[in-house]
Amino acid sequence: MKIIYPGSFDPLTLGHIDLIKRLAKMYDEVIVAVLINDNKNSLFTLEEREEIIKEEIEAENLTNVSIKSFDGLLVNFAKKEDVKLIARGLRQVTDYEYEKNIAMFNAELYEGLETIFLLSNPKYSFISSSGVREVIRFKGDVSTFVSSNVKKKIEENFYK
C-alpha cells in the first residue's frame, strides 16, 4: 500500500521526520509530497526543501520513501500518482479542526480518498515549521526542533 505525506516542509522538523519514519514502517511505499508554494514567503526554495528531505531519508536508510513535488490541488497529485491515501499529523486539537475540513474537501474532490491521521509524538507536539521560522528570524537555537543536518543548513544560510 502506498501513502502520500504532503506538506510545505519549510523547514523539515523533527516532528516531520518522526512521522515519515513511522509511515515507512506501516506502508509499503511513502511519497513525501512537497508543496511548491510560490506565493508563500518560503525560507527554503523547493529544491532546498527536497534536498533536505532526501538527505534525511538517506541518513535514516528509509528505502521505501520517495520525494515528489506538487502544485495546485493535492487531490490532482494523488490522482496522477494513483494513490488514495493521505497521511497528516495531528499535534493538538486545533490541528484536528483544521485538518478535518481539508480531509473532507479532499474526499469530496476525489471519491474514495482517505486521510489517515497520526498523533504526533508528544515530544514534538508543539513544534511547527512556522514556529521554527520565527526562531530563525531572531537567530535563536533550533537544536531541539530540527535535525543536526537541518540546523547546519539553517546556520549556513541565515546565521551569518
Q: Please identify which of the residues 91, 100, 125, 128 carries the catalytic annotation.
A: 91
16 is annotated as an active-site residue: yes
Cα–Cα distance list, 38 to 44, 72, 102 (Å) = 11, 11, 20
147 is annotated as an active-site residue: no
Beta carbons within 8 Å of 132's beta carbon, 6+ residues apart: 11, 13, 142, 145, 146
Our CB check for ligand PNS shows the closer of 131 and 159 to be 131
Q: How far is the CB of 77 from ligand PNS (least distance, A)?
A: 8
Our CB check for ligand PNS shows the closer of 13 and 27 to be 13
Our CB check for ligand PNS shows the closer of 47 and 139 to be 47
Cα–Cα distance list, 67 to 117, 135, 142, 148 (Å) = 20, 27, 24, 20
129 is annotated as an active-site residue: yes
CB 57 within 8 A of CB 29: no
List the interface residues with ligand PNS, window 105-134 (CB under 6 A).
105-106
Instruction: Report how far residue 57's alpha carbon sits from residue 84's, in angstroms, rounded to the nearest whole number.
Output: 23
Q: How far is the CB of 160 from ligand PNS (least distance, A)?
A: 27
The H or E element containing residue 132 is helix 129-137
Please tell me whether residue 42 binds ligand PNS under the rule CB under 6 A: no
Return residues touching ligand PNS (CB under 6 A). 6-8, 35, 73-74, 102, 105-106
